[in-house]
Amino acid sequence: MLGPFIAVLRRDLLLAWRGRADVLVTIGFFVVVACLFPFGVGAEPNQLREIAPGILWVDALLATLLSLHRLFAQDHADGSLEQLLLSPEPTVLWVSAKVLAYWLTTSLPLVIAAPGLGLLFDMEQGSLKVLCLSLLLGTPMLSLLGAVGAALTLGLRGGGMLLALLVLPLFVPVLIFGAGAVDAYLGGSGSDAHLLLLAGGSLAALVLAPWACAAALRIAAE
């Protein structure tokens, strides 16, 4: 039953390793965009400290978006997608494996890089911890929702822009609760509610998104 899941996960992780330049570009983008903000809004430490969670969250969202179109594009172009659709096991299985591999190779490095960038904005220890936790719980939802968008725009001309238009509005709730978690922590009301909502959203996306993705991929392969 898990054969295709493991096969796809192993292959995608291997491919990410072989094409690690792509992963590095995403992290580089994440770092560079965060570094641009002090130039734009001025290097006033209190102000930067205050807007840091929002900046890092928007940044993570854009970095995710940057690499999202790659998720199914190669498999669609070389015909692997057809072979996967002809697998006897349910499509949602291997779609989940692809999204998991994507999250491990794109979002997880962002979560790991975030504390370093947080220090750049002089965030204090406690809020850094909350920020990382919120990214850890929220990015799976970004990957899952993004995967649906990537599957829907697969093979379309100008698919990249359409993908951005399609998924950015869906990312708004994640952004609100993600960045809000740190504000709530600093405001003294505790970040638990925000983090639980992010985790709940990710779980709901985990249940629903692979089905939507599978349906969209079947249409794209026609």
Partner 1 sequence: MLEIRDLSCLRGDRLLFADLDLSVLPGERVRLLGPNGVGKTTLLRCLCGLIDPEEGEIHWNGHSIRSEREDFHRQLLYIGHSTALNDLLTPLENLRFTCRAGTDQVEEQACVEALERIGLGAQIDLPCRALSQGQRRRVGLARLFLGGERRLWILDEPFNALDVAAVADLASSLDAHCAAGGIVVLTTHQDVSFSHPGRVVDLAGHAC
Enter the DSSP assignment of 19.
Answer: T
Using CB under 8 A, pick the residue from 82, 122, 124, 192 that binds partner 1: 82
Q: Which residues of 5-44 are buried (b: 16+ CB within 10 A; e: fewer)?
A: beebbebbeeebeeeeeeeeebeebbbebbeebbeeeeee
9 vs 60 by CB, closer to partner 1: 9
6 vs 207 by CB, closer to partner 1: 6
Using CB under 8 A, pick the residue from 45, 79, 116, 187 that binds partner 1: 79
Between the alpha carbon of residue 77 and those of residues 7, 57, 129, 220, the distances in Å are 19, 32, 41, 11
For CA atoms 86, 90, 92, 96, the dihedral sign is negative
Using CB under 8 A, pick the residue from 74, 165, 192, 193 that binds partner 1: 74
Using CB under 8 A, pick the residue from 13, 15, 120, 132 that binds partner 1: 15
For the record, the structure tokens of 86 come out as 């002809």
Tell me: does residue 25 bind partner 1 (CB under 8 A): no
Using CB under 8 A, pick the residue from 94, 102, 103, 121 that binds partner 1: 94
> Cα(148)–Cα(72) distance, rounded to whole angstroms?
10
> Cα(108)–Cα(128) distance, rounded to whole angstroms?
16
- Scanning 73-81, 134-142, 152-160, 181-189 for contacts with partner 1 by CB under 8 A, the matching segment is 73-81
**Orientation of helix 192-221 relative to helix 70-78, angle to 10°:** 20
18 vs 39 by CB, closer to partner 1: 18
17 vs 32 by CB, closer to partner 1: 17
For the record, the structure tokens of 186 come out as 């600093």
78 vs 192 by CB, closer to partner 1: 78
- Scanning 64-72, 88-96, 162-170, 206-214 for contacts with partner 1 by CB under 8 A, the matching segment is 88-96
For the record, the structure tokens of 210 come out as 């692979």
Query: How many residues at the interface with partner 1, by CB under 8 A?
Result: 27
Using CB under 8 A, pick the residue from 54, 62, 87, 159 that binds partner 1: 87
Amino acid (1-letter code) at residue 39: F
Using CB under 8 A, pick the residue from 11, 49, 70, 129 that binds partner 1: 11
Chain residues in the site for partner 1 (CB under 8 A) = 3-4, 6-8, 11, 14-15, 18-19, 74-75, 77-80, 82-89, 94, 221-222
